[in-house]
Amino acid sequence: MKKKKLVIFDTTLRDGEQCPGASMNKLEKLEIARQLALLGVDVIEAGFPVASPGDFDSVSQISREIKGVTIAGLARAVEKDIDMVAKATEKAEFSRIHVFLATSKTHRDFKLKKSKEEILEQAAKAVAYARRFCDDVEFSPEDASRTEPEFLRQVTLEVVKAGARTVNIPDTVGYAIPGQFGKLIRKVVDSIKNEDAVISVHCHNDLGLAVANSLAAVKAGARQVECTINGIGERAGNAALEEIVMAVRTRKDFFKADVGHIDAKRLLSCSRIVSNLTGLLVQRNKAIVGKNAFAHESGVHQDGLLKNVSTYEIINPTDVGWEKTNLVLGKHSGRHAFINRIEALGFRLDGEKLDHAFEEFKRLADVKKEIFDDDIISLVQGQFSEKTGLRYHLKKVKTTVETGVRPEATVELSDGNGLVKKATASGDGPIDSICQAIDKITGVSCKLLDYSVVSRTSGTDALGEVSVQIENEGRKVWGKFAGTNVVEASAQAYLNAVNKLIMYS
């Protein structure tokens, strides 16, 4: 039986960004879009253009600059939203308008207050209107897994007749169970077997079944899966792209689907870049991209692996981007070697960004005995922040910690005009003191909601990445920074978050 290509629709930049705390700026979104294009995904859902001017601008920029992949934008089933997507994606090499409208009884009765007939009419009209701008139109009946099966079949037929090339069946609230969901998808596939349209799925992870439901759908005939890097997304997240790809690839005998167009060796680097730019950490035991995914401690497992790796590993770690050794650069390395390594990791820097990254690398190389890939990734990802918009820059931080004495910190910041301001504060610990001193200078009083430090590399001189979440007048933002000096990195991360509050106020 000939394998059919499985379309990989990535929604990291749209649904993934809806994950609390995962908001990204335009440069960060553009870099992730570049990585997704290199990975080989078929469709990048770049955003929801009508949601905000920033989202519109981001979708527009990605449409202009990312080639070789379809760029999609999300729209409600109303003309205003569709117009915005059409305008935002007009410069894309390949564009798609993704229209959605809720269909379940719960949504019809309580959210939309519309009858089945009204839903059918609105859905068909919206798809037909979108086809005026774009041949590639996708329709999603929101909350499809809780929609009456016969009505879902009717909706599917109506939107396909109106011109939808893809009909996506979303498990919007993570309600589905694999066996039942597979049967539902089979019925939908059979209902349009005489039509030239693709059935897709978009599953949420509220019950931890997003990947399982997506795979059940593939087995039942779905030919597109909507997913995100690391499974990030609304609430408990979406189906993880890396898990979908490797499950289908590893069990191609079962799924009879082809994902050969995906460059699986880039899965790990994509995971790390998304984690770094969103500040959302990947759990150690996460499948495929977690630190423990290919780690073995059990003596029985180690013995089996030494005899034959297939005893306890069904995936070759190198196939998804893991390497035996990560040592790549040191303080004696030159600019050319640094550029080559950046490009090998999938990044592209030039001009001032490259100069600044190389200077940071040289400074780090003087401190660390060994430079690892994660060091380079952390350095480079720092170049994608919108530094020109920062209100304050850290000039100096000094802390005093002594047993029995309340900690104190002195901080010096320069503002956008180069004026240096200084403040001293005491707190429950050195980090609290630093935060209070920064608040004194900026005049922004913040509550520290979350603080974490993760060792991004190996050794006693490891690069520590600090992530903080702060709140001011009900607004919550994340800040992050990486460095060998964790105290200084904490100050930089907190200041990064404060600057965001000031910039977006």
C-beta of residue 16 within 8 angstroms of C-beta of residue 228 = yes
Domain 4-278: give its CATH architecture.
Answer: Alpha-Beta Barrel (3.20)
pLDDT at 233 over 70: yes
User: How does DSSP classify residue 18?
Assistant: G
3-state helix, strand, coil split of the chain in percent (to 5) is 45, 25, 30
Specify the CATH number for 387-503; select among 2.30.110.10, 3.30.160.270, 3.30.70.3280, 3.40.190.10: 3.30.160.270
Domains 4-278 and 387-503 share a fold: no
Count of other CB atoms within 10 angstroms of residue 299: 8
Beta-strand pair 464-472/447-455: antiparallel
Residue 260 has a CB neighbour count (10 Å cut-off) of: 13
- CB neighbour burial string for 13-22, b if at least 16 within 10 angstroms, e if fewer: bbbbbbbeeb
* pLDDT per position as a tens digit, 407-442: 999 999 998 777 899 999 999 999 999 999 999 999
In angstroms, the CA 26 to CA 36 distance is 15
pTM: 0.76
d(CA 363, CA 375): 12
CA pair distance 46, 56, nearest whole angstrom: 9
| Domain boundaries defined on the chain | 4-278, 294-319, 327-384, 387-503
Encoded tokens for 33: 């879009």
Cβ atoms of 12 and 229 closer than 8 Å: yes
Distance between CA atoms of 329 and 376, rounded to whole angstroms? 9
3-state SS class at 399: strand
pLDDT digits (tens, 9 = 90+) for 262-298: 999 999 999 999 998 888 889 988 999 987 777 654 4
- Helices 267-278, 26-39: crossing angle, 10 deg rounding: 170
The predicted-structure confidence for 26-39, as pLDDT tens digits, reads as follows 999 999 999 999 99
Q: Is the pLDDT of residue 305 over 80?
A: no
Query: How far does the chain reach from its first CA to its final CA, in angstroms?
Result: 58
Q: Are 135 and 107 in contact (CB under 8 A)?
A: no
